[in-house]
Structures are given as structure tokens and as C-alpha cells.
Amino acid sequence: MRKLPNCYWTLLVFLVLMAGCDTGEHLNIYSSRHYDTDLDLFDKFTEETGIQVNLIEGGSDELIERIKNEGVNSPADIVITVDAGRLWRAKEAGILQALHSRRMEERLPEELIDPERYWFGLSQRVRGVIYNRDRVDPDELDGYWELADEKWSGRICVRSSGNIYNQSLVASLIETHGIEDTEEWARRLVANFARSPQGGDTDQIRAVAAGQCDIALANHYYLARLYNSARNADREVAEQVGIYFPGQQHSGAHVNISGAGLAAHSPNIENAVLFMEYLTMPESQQLFAGANFEYPAVEDVSLPEELVQFGRFESDAVNVSAYGRNNPDAIRLMDRAGWR
């Protein structure tokens, strides 16, 4: 695909600025993200384009239902949410429409884009293996599949099967290994649990640090938050654990996303497309991903110090749309395996 000239974005912003700064143009964003840096990003977009951003916040499912109820009269232009499974739900609910943007397709990895272009992943959330530095040699760690090995019997902490992050991991494994093999994996994993599933990702990290288990599954940014905490106790927890990302020799790391899609009845499509493309620019990526210590979706964007120490990761390259498509099978599989 032909790469756009470097002057493309500068010219486009200039034309929009000249045409829109005094015309009252606006953009309506429905978002389940609640970060101050997102507000800074919206303000910067308005400053550069003259397009006013109206923000409607809420939970992911709440916003999906709201837009459905608003129907063809919905003012929503863009829907922003977290987890590919939830973006899949938005697509299935009929509240998104396809967006074909050469700029976004060139900038973003194919596996972070819905195959039909109903949504785009804009930052990456890596599900890592947290380990106790005093009790586990990282050379012992392999991939997610190997966590079912009996050597980890009684040593694993994990949150419940009702959690979307775990459901998406299992859905990804279904895509790679099939239902039957993944169900057998889940049964063996459950047999290795150190305790009944409970708490959130941060609770799993604390349990590893406290020696209640030796390893746990958690999204990387929960550990980054502890490193960045103002509380000494949180930082002490972070120092007692490490994080491991499976490499390509072990099928790669499971990656989820924060992402966005164009609303089905957007009244401001041109402004919406401009903003979506704006989110793939390096400076925008730093703000969007940095809000929650997530990895940028665009390559070669500098990382915050909290992530530099984690290092880069090798993705398993599973298209994240599989997480939503396989979600019903994942939930049933986990229930049959006794993962509560």
C-alpha cells in the first residue's frame, strides 16, 4: 500500500483549522475511559482543528445500551472502550459502522483492527505472568499453555472466570488451539490454583508478593501503577515481583486493547474520521496509551519509564476480534473446567 506523504497530516489539520475554527463544528465522543490525559488529548485536538469535543462518559455496557436506545437519532460520533470483547459487543449491537482509513490501516498492526473495519485498537494491554522474584527463576517460565504443567501445582493465583481479561485470554487460546484442547488446558490450570479465584489484577500481584502464590496472571499496567504509586507499600510490592511476557518460541504474548469505532449514525462523520486518524499520531499515542501505562498501538512511539523496565514484547499475532467471537465458548469452557 502506498505510504502517504509526510505533509499529509499537517495540510489536513491546516485545512480543517481554517474551515472549522469559527463554524461551531463539534464531535460527540462516548467513552468508558476516565483519564485526565484523555481530556488533555481532546483539548489539544480542539486547539489544532477548531472542532469542539463533547464527552459522554459511562461504563462500556451502559454506553452500548444508551446508543442502542437512542437509535437513529443518537448524537454519538465515536465510541471508545476497553477490551476487544466489548468492542465486539458494540459491533454486534449494531451501534458501529465500518471506517476505511488508509492512514489508520498503515499505522496500526493488522491484528489490532477489526477485519471489517468496525473498530481499531489504539493502545495495547499485555497479559503478563507475575512471578515472585525470591521463589521463581524467570527461566522456569514458558508460555500460558505451560501454566497447566503440574510443576505449578498449588502455585498460581488468578481472578475469576467472570473477568473479561481472562475470558479474552481463553478466547485467544481457543482461536489457536481449538475448544477441546483449550478445555483440557483450563482443567489442568484450575488444578494448579493456589486458592479460589478472587479479587482483581492488583490483588493477584499483592498475593504473589506476599507468598500466597508464586505466579499470577495480570495485565502489565497494574504492576506499572504500583511502581508509580505515591504509597511506599505499593512500591515495595512492585519491587518483590517481576513480569514475564511469553516470547515467540512460546506463541507470544496475549495482547488486548483500548480502542474506538465510528458510531453507526454519526452526524459528524468527517470530524470523527479526522479524530480517529489523529489518535494514531505519535504525540496522541503517547497521551492515549500513557494515561494508563499501556503500550502504544503504533510502532516506534517512545515508552514511559515504567514500561521501559518491562521491555518490549512479542505479540501472539492473534487478531483481537477473535476474543469477542469466541467469548461465549470461552465462558462455557471455563465453567465446565471448574474455573469459577
pLDDT at 173: 97
**SS3 for 26-69, per residue?**
EEEEEECCCCHHHHHHHHHHHHHHCCEEEEEECCHHHHHHHHHH
Q: Assess contact for 42 and 51: CB atoms under 8 A.
A: no
Look up the CATH number of the domain holding residue 224: 3.40.190.10
The 10s digit of each residue's pLDDT in 105-134 is 999 999 999 999 999 999 999 999 999 999
Same domain, residue pair 209 and 249: yes
Same domain, residue pair 296 and 320: no
Radius of gyration of the chain (CA): 21
Same domain, residue pair 99 and 145: no
Same domain, residue pair 94 and 109: yes
Question: pTM, whole model, 2 decimals?
Answer: 0.90
Where is 327: in which H helix or E strand?
A: helix 327-336
Residue 292 lies in domain: 8-124+255-303
Count of domains forming the chain? 2
The 10s digit of each residue's pLDDT in 79-98 is 999 999 999 999 999 999 99
309 within a domain of the structure (yes/no)? no
What confidence category does residue 306 fall into, taking pLDDT thresholds of 50, 70 and 90? confident
Same domain, residue pair 205 and 320: yes
Mean per-residue pLDDT over the chain, rounded: 92
Where is 314: in which H helix or E strand?
A: none
Same domain, residue pair 48 and 104: yes
